[in-house]
Amino acid sequence: MGNEPKSELTVRAVLSKQGLANSEIKQGAQRGKIWLRGVPTSDLGRLVSPEDVTYMPEAPRLMPGRDLAVLFRDDDLAVVWKPSGWLSVRAPGRGDERDLVSYVGNLFGQSFVVHRLDEETSGVMMVALNERMQFEIKRLLENHDIERRYLALVKGHPTETHWTMETTFIRNRGDGLRGSGQGEGAKRALTQFELVEKLQGGVSLVQATLETGRTHQVRIHLAEAGHPVLGDRLYGDNRSARKCPRVALHAAVLGLKHPRTGEELSFDIPLADDLEQLRRSHLPNRHSGGEVERRGRPPKKKARKPKGKKRR
């Protein structure tokens, strides 16, 4: 999990082999008709396993990376794909901005918050659709019976492939920010980390597994380990913060046993398009499946002088 599957095919190549014309592929990417492992994508250049790509012409029109998508829904629970830039819940002084829980409530009649993702974090998120399910999901979270894993692009190359951060968080560690420390109200924070991929330019892809769910837990622990998340202007340094226009953190895996039905629900979704493109920009070889990644305009060719007779 974490690394894109090793294959010689891009999303575009897979769809071409399925018989889609270039115009259909382009429009499908723009309108949310192309799905990768259960979520919409417009990134046609990423490497994939062909069975992970689905063309869904009847899917509701949406813009990948901007609009949320419902991954699962029954009478009790909704699981949604949250793009970066969405608030999880309504925030004071920001009532005119869209938030995910209220939006789900408008879709399905009512909604109840059970957990949150930071505004800039993308990925999979749950919303309870009745108070009973809200209570049951919160109980599962408190008992650590829900699997939650994140992917993060971070500064530097960790020396260990697996490591654990276990600290206690306080609201003010001395600089006005949350962080590890001792004092009144300190709460245990435990995160398991795995190095997924070392990239060029002093960047790594890391997986974080939550054992507790404190505010900004992954971001704080990675910054304290010396590997701040790219784009993190709160806990990172200026250099790492400039490497991404948003916090490069993605809620990739969610797994739980449905409290009412007993069904095992599991969601393992790929990196958001913008983070996958950032990852590829740090690969040593940017040729994938015969398709060259083009970021920016090609250099202009020098104009040739018209041929003619030379003047004497």
- Residues labelled as active-site residues: 118
Other C-beta atoms lying within 10 Å of the C-beta of residue 261: 12
User: Two tokens at 105?
Assistant: 């409530």
Q: CB within 8 A of 48, min separation 6: which ones? A: 4, 5, 7, 9, 10, 11, 14, 36
Partners of 124 in beta bridges: 81
Listed in sequence order, the residues at least 6 apart from 40 whose beta carbon sits closer than 8 Å to its beta carbon are 32, 33, 34, 59, 62, 64, 69, 81
Residues 6+ apart with CB under 8 A from 163: 193, 225
Q: 280 — phi, psi (to 5°)?
A: -65, -30
Q: For residue 219, give the nearest of 123, 202, 227 by alpha carbon.
A: 227
Which contacts (CB < 8 Å, 24+ apart) does range 140-146 have? 140/256, 140/257, 140/259, 141/114, 141/115, 141/213, 144/211, 144/212, 145/256, 145/257, 146/254, 146/255, 146/256
Q: Parallel, antiparallel, or unpaired: how do β-strands 249-257 and 264-268 relate?
A: antiparallel
Do the beta carbons of residue 127 and residue 104 sit within 8 Å?
Answer: yes
Give Rg (Cα) of the chain: 22
Q: In which element (H, E) is residue 148 found?
A: strand 147-155
Categorise residue 199: left if φ over 0, alpha if ψ from -120 to 50, beta otherwise: beta
